[in-house]
Amino acid sequence: MNTVGERLKTLREEMGLSQKKMAELLDVTQPSINRYEHGKAVPIEVLIGYADYFDVSMDYITCRCDEPQGKKTGFKRRFMRLH
């Protein structure tokens, strides 16, 4: 079974995004993205940001299901900050 960190990394890499670019999109630091992907810490706001940006369900992000359940339109729309 995948971990949350592995899911976050896979989503990012599938879109060809660097950790630096993902950090910019979520308004966090690149070392924070690295910690999230290695399971060191993941604030709920960041998980929501990933789910919104990649248009996938929180159940997918948290490994409760294996289907993203999104329309995959989130890749093209502008990321809306949670702040």
pLDDT in tens, 40-77: 987 888 889 989 999 999 998 888 888 887 655 444 33
Instruction: Flag whether the pTM goes above 0.75.
Output: no
Cα 4 to Cα 10, 44, 55, 76, 77, distances in angstroms: 10, 12, 16, 23, 24
44 exposure class (CB count in 10 Å sphere: 0-12, 13-18, 19+): exposed
pLDDT at 11 over 60: yes
Q: Is the dihedral of CA 9, 30, 27, 44 positive or negative?
A: positive
Rounded CA gap, 24 and 64, in Å? 27
